[in-house]
Structure 1
Amino acid sequence: MSGPQLILASASPRRRELLAQIGVKFDVFPLALAEVPEAGESPEAYVRRVAREKAEAGWSASGATRPVLGADTEVVLDGEIFGKPRDLEHGVWMLKRLSGRAHRVLSAVSLCTDGGHSQVLSVSEVSFRDIAEAEVRAYWASGEPRDKAGAYAIQGLGAIFVRHLSGSYSGVMGLPLYETAGLLSQSGIPILTPDSA
């Protein structure tokens, strides 16, 4: 039985779960990179750049022995990248801004191999119902939103706020599986393998 054929340059447990879900065998190589938008950088350019930097840093740091996958997911409203909440008040501010509105979730996936770099971008639209401030604060108290882009997890309690989703559910979670599977298949990396990571 062959071993892992891919390195995931991410500490995200959600990305590990999603990659394992499609039967990919991989090792994890977490990286700590600064994730700060550059002046005048569009949300699309930002998420693409960060995903690429993660993949390239993982490629370099791991010794380039296997392909390296990097990804970045961001919540965007009115052209503003929300990132992860710093504290309670920042999280409350984010969720109140998202309340009753539609926002975009951008999820870029980058793959570095000895043949070069390839990338895909998933764009989803998520519509929230109106959320009362008491609900927002109760949700924060659950602990779930503290390390999530946009201060919510669609796969968890945050699902109660989602009125409509157009796009990739897994992309909103952090790794768009349709796009990721296509990217890996084009590079000859097997998916749907038994006994995956």
Structure 2
Amino acid sequence: MSDRYLIPSATHRVTDTIKKSQFITTLAHTPDIESAREFVASIKEEFPDATHNCWAFAAGPPGDTAAVGMSDDGEPHGTAGKPMLTTLLHSSVGEVSAVVTRYFGGTKLGTGGLVRAYSGMVNLGLESLPTKEKVDTTTITATIPYPAVTLFKRMLPEFEAEVEEERFTDEAAFVLVIPNEHLASFTDKLAELTDGVGRVEI
């Protein structure tokens, strides 16, 4: 299981008119349930006069149902929140919330039409959603003897390790941020490079 997946890199909005009703979809990065609920509340505050502010969130890796929520917000049961959540869970994006705001235009869509409208609006937003890769990382301190510094710095890109801080005393110490998936192999390579003298502390 990779620690990497796509997450929204910015709050994103799309609009469409379906049978005279205006639909506004807003998507945002919400890494946990609390931030998802705050985001939903902020959209309701922005559109207090809307007929409905239906929402769904999946606050975990793509397809993960451990931290999900949804609401039809007054639409017939199962016609908005559930299709929105299903669309989010089948996308390749994680840690995402969607609110679909509806201003009723006078023409009823029927239950099938509502399901298509709400899932379609989330899909429309996802198609143009700006994303970035989320990588789970760990901060470590690598302490090495001075003769190994040049080779040590050369090996960092191989493990996607970024230097946060350098400290030079009787030994050289580097505070690094490194993807979790590279941590074990990095530690092995450091031991090999320094004949077992180098140390890694998490």
Q: Would the TM-score normalized by the shorter structure come out above 0.5?
A: no
Between Structure 1 and Structure 2, the one with more helix by share is 1
Return the index of the structure with the highest Cα Rg: 2
Q: Taking structure 1 as the reference length, what is the TM-score of the superposition?
A: 0.25
Whichever structure has more strand as a proportion of its residues is: 2
